[in-house]
Amino acid sequence: MVNPEEEVIAIMKKTGIDLAATLPCDRIKNLLPLISENFPEVKLTREENGVGICAGIYLAGGKPMMLIQSTGLGNMINALESLNVTCKIPLPILTSWRGVYKENIEAQVPMGVHLPGILEGAGLAYTIIDEAEKLPLLENVILDAFENSRPHIALVSPKVWEASECCAWETPKSPDLPKKEKICKFRLTQKILEPRMIRNDAISAVAAELDGEITVTNLGVPCKELYAARDRDLNFYMFGSMGLVSSIGLGLALRTDRQVVVFDGDGSLLMNPNALLEVGKEAPENLTIIALDNGAYGSTGSQETCSLRYIDLEILANACGIQSTYKVNTAEELVCQYKDSLSARQTSFIHVILRPGNTKAPNIPMSPEEVTKRFKESLEAKKL
């Protein structure tokens, strides 16, 4: 007899899944060790980051899948709509469906009970798998996601695992627990740098140096400024899902050997600092994050962000495990550090101190779907 956990592994392999992004749930605790044994895995700290990472993996030619608890879908809906649906990026999601079957945690019930209606109202495809005999439907979920370039969610009831004899997970015994240790290496700028550039100056300076690098750029005016400075097929412009630009860059860097450059912003990074945790943990040697910090939400009226007075993004990146961090405030320093970061072959974080201010850049004359198609085809062509 094949246990349901083993059946999931077999279906994932049959459909060509080549990376899993996971967050744990008690109901799938016997499945997750098998995932770790059979697939490259990114262990997430926040569900939205998985959406971004998996998008990057897919754009670089991979076939990712997420495995999460159903509560995480509440965090993910905007990212799925504004990234996957808008850009037609596939993503199969196995969700441990809580709150509907033998649920002892009252807080799980409201979301779980209403989840099918929420997904239906959002126009997101879903399939209910409420008993072990229906697990073969997971193959249809995965195939549909990639054939129709959309997210498709499998709501898997705890009942599916009830009769399983799988015991891949065992209660940790305290002597066997890993020691909690971390060596922090700080290389921080010890002085306050005065802003001398606006964001467009920094973007234009790096754009002039781009050769074969892949770029991913934060939504709004930064995308327009990069488009105006130097449009390329290898530029991925974001139109939504604020906070996920570094996650998308991480997914790309994990899947390709090419240099990946992320233009992120202080508002975006502060909205989703968890993205840096995954970057620091995975630490791909071909990823450079350029943090464009003007202390303002530049695309929405230059309202002040916390980075203006209260937090240092370089220290935040270093605390998240990114060892190579730098701070610059001139175009010459930025270009020099950018070149050094590419040649160093290590995850790098360049904190650029800027003045607020936008340029009157034109709108990008392409739809999100067109940008995605052009970008993905360019990556595929350069593999040949």
Please check the confidence at residue 189 and state whether its pLDDT lies above 90. no
Residue-level pLDDT at 185: 65
Domain with 295 in it: what CATH number? 3.40.50.970
User: pLDDT band at 339, cuts 50/70/90?
Assistant: very high
Domain boundary among 155, 170, 185: 170
Residue-level pLDDT at 381: 85
Please check the confidence at residue 176 and state whether its pLDDT lies above 70. no
Q: Is residue 192 part of a domain?
A: no
**Mean predicted confidence (pLDDT) in 20-33:** 96
**Mean predicted confidence (pLDDT) in 98-124:** 96
Please check the confidence at residue 19 and state whether its pLDDT lies above 80. yes
Sequence length of the chain is 384
pLDDT tens digit sequence for 30-64: 999 999 999 999 999 999 999 999 999 999 999 99
153 plus 257 within the same structural domain:
no
pTM: 0.94
pLDDT tens digit sequence for 256-280: 999 999 999 999 999 999 999 999 9
**Mean predicted confidence (pLDDT) in 154-177:** 84
267 plus 370 within the same structural domain:
yes
**Mean predicted confidence (pLDDT) in 273-295:** 96
Phi and psi at residue 253, to the nearest 5°: -65, -30
User: pLDDT band at 173, cuts 50/70/90?
Assistant: low
360 plus 313 within the same structural domain:
yes
Q: Is residue 356 part of a domain?
A: yes
Q: Is residue 191 part of a domain?
A: no
Q: Please provide the average confidence, as pLDDT, over all residues in the chain.
A: 93
Residue-level pLDDT at 1: 76
303 plus 263 within the same structural domain:
yes
DSSP string covering 6-47: HHHHHHHHHTT--EEEE---GGGTTHHHHHHHHS-EEE-SSH
User: pLDDT band at 85, cuts 50/70/90?
Assistant: very high
161 plus 212 within the same structural domain:
no
Handedness of CA 44, 50, 52, 54 (dihedral sign): positive
146 plus 206 within the same structural domain:
no
Residue-level pLDDT at 304: 87
Q: Is residue 327 part of a domain?
A: yes
Residues 302 and 343: their CA atoms lie apart, in Å, by 34
Q: Is residue 176 part of a domain?
A: no
**Mean predicted confidence (pLDDT) in 165-193:** 70
Please check the confidence at residue 174 and state whether its pLDDT lies above 60. no
Please check the confidence at residue 297 and state whether its pLDDT lies above 90. no
Closest CA to 322 of 187, 179, 180: 187
**Mean predicted confidence (pLDDT) in 164-189:** 70
205 plus 343 within the same structural domain:
yes
What is the extent of the structural domain holding 126?
4-170
Q: Is residue 367 part of a domain?
A: yes
Residue-level pLDDT at 277: 95
88 plus 221 within the same structural domain:
no
The tally of domains found in the chain comes to 2
Q: Is residue 186 part of a domain?
A: no
204 plus 165 within the same structural domain:
no
Question: How many C-beta neighbours within 10 Å does residue 121 have?
Answer: 10
Residue-level pLDDT at 377: 96
136 plus 203 within the same structural domain:
no
Residue-level pLDDT at 384: 56
**Mean predicted confidence (pLDDT) in 159-170:** 91
**DSSP H helices in the chain:** 4-14, 31-38, 47-59, 71-79, 86-87, 109-121, 137-147, 199-207, 221-230, 245-255, 266-271, 274-282, 313-319, 331-344, 368-383
220 plus 360 within the same structural domain:
yes
224 plus 82 within the same structural domain:
no
